[in-house]
Amino acid sequence: MTTIDDAGEITEAIRPTPVFHPDADAAPVIEVSDVWKLHKLGDEVVKALVAAELTVVPGEFVCLMGPSGSGKSTLLNIVGGLDRPTKGVVKVGGQDTARLSESQFAALRHDTIGFIFQSYNLIPFLSAVENVELPLMFEPYDRKALRTRATELLELVGLGHRINHQPTKMSGGEQQRTAIARSLISNPTLVLADEPTANLDHRTGETVVRMLRDLCSTLGVTVVASTHDPTVADEATRVVRMKDGQIVN
């Protein structure tokens, strides 16, 4: 597992034999079928997604690549339930999301999906460990057990020495690693990452990408990331290219 020591040095531990491999015969984590997303701007209709088709199986690290405006973030938002398609079918964990109420989709999202955002989306007045706890902070969990779990996740991403620091006292890379830890607090089967390296220098971005890769290979978490960064594509198990709202490969 890629970690960072207290001095900020990247270390690559002896990698265990991966315990999970993508299985094309397994039930898909994501099924997107003929999905469109249209926006009306005055008299003009903007096609953010056009007949998108995508299937992702457990343990894959899928990279969505394409220029700005190609539909990458729109597709992630629809899969994650942050937006709804104009038409088409989206299934997450075998559940047709169009048949779910908002509360049912919120429960599905809470239980099975972790999010990593380009802008980190950390609460500035909370410490790193409190930010990691946040998705479960108002749930009926044992507070001591939750703190232990959040601390372990921060240690996993090399931030055991920064658990009490607020985001304003952390570098961009440390904030993004905190966001990765937060995305795992609910033990999700799927992590959606929107431009996870966009605000990071090349070296730190490489570390973040390796951590995402290791989530797949050692924990069996499925990761779908949108990016312009070829470093992300190099580590992915599959690259899906998008242009003008369409998947082109």
Place of tokens 């108002």: 138
202-219 vs 172-183: helix axis angle to the nearest 10?
20
108, 81 in Cβ contact below 8 A? Answer: yes
Asked if residue 178 lies in contact with residue 120, where contact means CB atoms within 8 angstroms, the answer is yes
Distance, CA of 14 to CA of 235 (rounded, Å): 17
CA–chain centroid gap for 5, Å, is: 24
Round to whole Å and give the CA distance between 41 and 49.
Answer: 15
DSSP classification of residue 27: P
**How many Å apart are CA 213 and CA 1, to the nearest integer?**
9
Measured CA to CA, the distance from residue 39 to residue 28 in angstroms comes to 29
Ordered by where they begin, the domains of the chain are 58-82+102-248 (3.40.50.300)
SS3 for 92? strand
Helix (H) or strand (E) holding 226: strand 222-227
| Amino acid 17: pLDDT | 44
Residues of the chain with pLDDT under 70: 1-20
Cβ neighbours of residue 134 under 8 Å, at least 6 residues apart?
123, 126, 182
The pLDDT assigned to 20 comes to: 64
pLDDT score at 209: 87
pLDDT at residue 34, as a whole number: 96
Q: How many angstroms separate the CA atoms of 23 and 112, rounded?
A: 19
Specify the pLDDT at position 201. 86
